[in-house]
Chains A and B, each alone.
Chain A
Amino acid sequence: MSKSLTNSIREEARKILQEGKVDFVIGYGQGDNSMRTQPVFIDKVEDIDKLVWPSFGLINLANYLLRYRTTRNTPHKIGIVAKGCDSRSIVALLKENQIDRDRLFIIGVNCPGMLSRQVAREKAGEIVAASSNGDKWSFETTEGTKEISCFDLMPSNCVACRHHAPVISDVVVGDSIKEPDVEDDGYDSIREFENKPAPERYQYLMSEMSACIRCYACRQACPTCNCDECFVDITQPKWVDKGLEPTDLAIWQLIRTYHQAGRCVDCGACEEACPMGVKLLWLTRKMNLVVRERFGFEAGVDPEALPPLATYKKEDPQEFIL
C-alpha cells in the first residue's frame, strides 16, 4: 500500500464529496489482509479513510460504472479512482455510449503497476499469510516461507504496460511515470509463444482452458464484457452446452476473447479474478496484438478514434478472408 498515493486519493475524494460534485466515490479499499483488495463506495466524508492505494489491486473499477449505464437512467454523479487501464476502459465505455461523461468525476492515478495474487500463488504456492518489507514480499505457504521481490510479482500485462498515466481524468494524482521505449511494444512474450510448435501451443492452451469452472468471474470482472445477455447464458437457441466438456470450455473462452476485439484494455482483471488461476491473458493479449498489427489500434487510448469493429476502411487488411 502506497502511503502517498493513498493520501492524495483521499484528499481529492474528500474535495469532490464536500463540494457536492459527486454522490459517491468508487475506489479501492483494504481487504482481509495485505494481499487483498475490496472496492469501496464512499458517500460520506467520515468514511474517506476507507480509501487506499493497494499493492494487489488488479481490479478494474470501471466495471462498476455498468450499474449506472446510460440506459438505466440512474441519477447518480459518480467519482471514480482510475489507474491507466481503468481510464482506458472508461474511454472504451464512453465510445460505446454506455456511460455519460458529465456524470463522472475521474480521479486519475499515475499507476506504478500492480502485484498479482495469481503470480504469487504460482511462484510461492498455497499462501496462508503474507507480509511486505519494502521491495520484497514474504509468504507463509503450506511448503514453508518464501520471499519474492515486488517486480517478480507483477503480472504480464503490468510488466508490458505502456499506459501508466490515465488517458482521461478530471484530476491526476501520483508522480508521472516514464513510459518504456515505444520501439518495444510489450508483446515479446506473445511472439515467443507464437513461435512454439502448434501442438505444444494447443496442448498448453487446452490444459489451461480445461481448468475453467465456468463461474464467469472473468466476465463479471471485465468492464467491456457488458452484453445485456451473454451468449453463454442464452438457451434459445443454445450456442454452447452448459457442462465442463473441454471443447465447450475452450469455445466459451475463445468467443469471450473475440468479443473483446478492439475493446480489451489489457487490465488483467479477468485473469486475477479467476479462482482457478487460468492464464487468460495469453488469449486476450494475442488478440490485442493482432488488432494492433492489422489496424494500428489500441483500445481506449484515443478518445476520438473509432474502434476497428465499428468502422470500415478500404485499405483494411483482409488477406485472412478466405
Chain B
Amino acid sequence: MKKVPVLKTLYDHLSKDRQIVGLTKEDNRYFYRALDSFDQWQSNVLLGNFSPKEVFFPQDEVLFYFKAQKTILPKDEVKPNVLWGVRPCDIAGIGELERMFNQVGEEGYKDPYFMQRFERTLIVGLACSEPWPSCFCTSVEGSPYKSEGADIFIYPTEDGYLIETPSKKGEAAIQGLDVEEVGDVSQLEADRRRAEDKIEKYNFEGIADKLKLMVDSNFWDRVHNPCIGCGTCAFVCPSCHCFDVSDASRGSRGLRSRQWDSCLYEGYTLETSGHNPRPSGRERWRQRLMHKFSYFPQVFGSYQCLGCGRCGRACPVNINIAELAAKAVEWEEASAE
C-alpha cells in the first residue's frame, strides 16, 4: 500500500486535470458540489444531506427538449470528475444505482444519463474511523473500512493516510504521485475492528425470504402509523432511484424532464381511474421495506439499503428502517391479535 503524510498531496495531484466534487457546506446544509479548493471540503462530516446520488442522478434532470416535431438532446457538459471523500456506504449506494441503471445483458436497461456521468467519474473513498450513532452499515454487508467499489480508497492513520487502489482506473490516476511504499499494514485490521465495534448491529438474517411470506401479515397494520407520507427518506437515500417524468411546454416547444419520486407519496401509485392499489401507509411501507430487503436481494443479490442512516436522521418522525427490518425478522404471526 502507498502512504502520503497529508491528503492535500493526493487532492492536488488529482485536481490537476480533473474537477473535484466533494462535500461542501451551504448555510447549514451539506452537499456534493464542485470544490474550488481543498479547504472547502468538509472532512469531518460523514454524510451530506443528500448522498452523492445526485452527482450521477440529479433530482431534476432534462431528458430532452422539443420544438414542433424535433427533439434535441441536452448538451453534455460533464467534465471528467473525481468524487472525493465518499464514505463506504455511499460508495455501495452508487453500486446499487449502477445495478439498476447499467443492467447486465442485452435486454438489461442502460440509462444513458446516468452512464455518461458514471463512466467518467473516479471514486475516491474514505474510511470512517469515527462512525455516527445512526450508522448501521455492518448489518447490511458493509463496513466503515470497505474499499470495494472505489477507484482509490483512503485509510486515515495516526501519521498520515494509506492509499489503496482497488481499480486499474485508480491505479492509473495516482501515477506520478509522490508516495511512500508501506509493506506492513496490519494496523488497519485493528482500526477496522475498532470502528466496526462502534456501530449498532441489527439482525437481518433471512429477511428476504421472511418478507416474501409476509405480504398479508398483520405486521404492516401498525408499523406505518407514525409516517406522514413525505418524500424525505427516498430523497436522502443513496440507492432510491424512482423518478417521475413530466413535460413543461409553451406552445409547440418545451422539455421533458425527470424528478425523484417516492413510494411513500399517496400519488405514487394513483391510477388514472382514481383507483389506488396502495391506498394507505400500510401498503406503501410494505412496498418500501420489501423493495429494499426482499425484492432487490432476490433480483440483484444484495440489499438495497446501505446502512447510512440518513433516512432516520432526516425523517420528521424519526422512522428507523433498520429497526423496522429487524422487527420483521422477529415477527411471529401468532403474536398479532
Contact = CB atoms under 8 A, between A and B. Distances in A.
Interface of A: 31-33, 36-41, 59, 63, 67, 121-122, 125-126, 128-129, 142-143, 211, 213-217, 219-221, 233, 235, 238, 241-244, 272-273, 275-277
Interface in B85-132: 132
B29 A276 contact: yes
Given A241-B246, A243-B60, A37 B318 contact: yes
B232 A217 contact: yes
Given A32-B318, A244-B60, A221 B27 contact: no
Nearest to A66: B228
B133 A33 contact: yes
A39 B223 CA distance: 11
Nearest to B25: A126
A122 B28 contact: yes
Interface stretch (B141-149, B170-178, B182-190, B309-317): B309-317
Contacts of A235: 246
Interface size, B (range): 35 or more
Nearest to B42: A142
B312 A217 contact: no
21 contacts: A31-B318, A32-B312, A33-B133, A38-B226, A38-B318, A41-B222, A63-B228, A215-B230, A215-B262, A217-B230, A217-B316, A219-B230, A220-B228, A221-B316, A241-B246, A241-B248, A242-B60, A242-B259, A275-B49, A275-B236, A276-B49
B38 interface: no
A273 B230 contact: yes
Interface in B210-259: 222, 225-226, 228-232, 235-236, 244, 246, 248, 257, 259
Contact of A220 (B229, B280, B318): B229
A36 B318 contact: yes
A68 to B, nearest CB: 12
B257 A213 contact: no
A166 B230 CA distance: 28
Contact of A272 (B225, B236, B244, B316): B316
A38 B319 contact: yes
Contacts of B29: 211, 276-277
A223 B197 CA distance: 42
A16 B218 CA distance: 25
Interface-central residue, B27, B44, B257, B316, by most chain A CB under 10 Å: B316
Contacts of A38: 226, 317-319
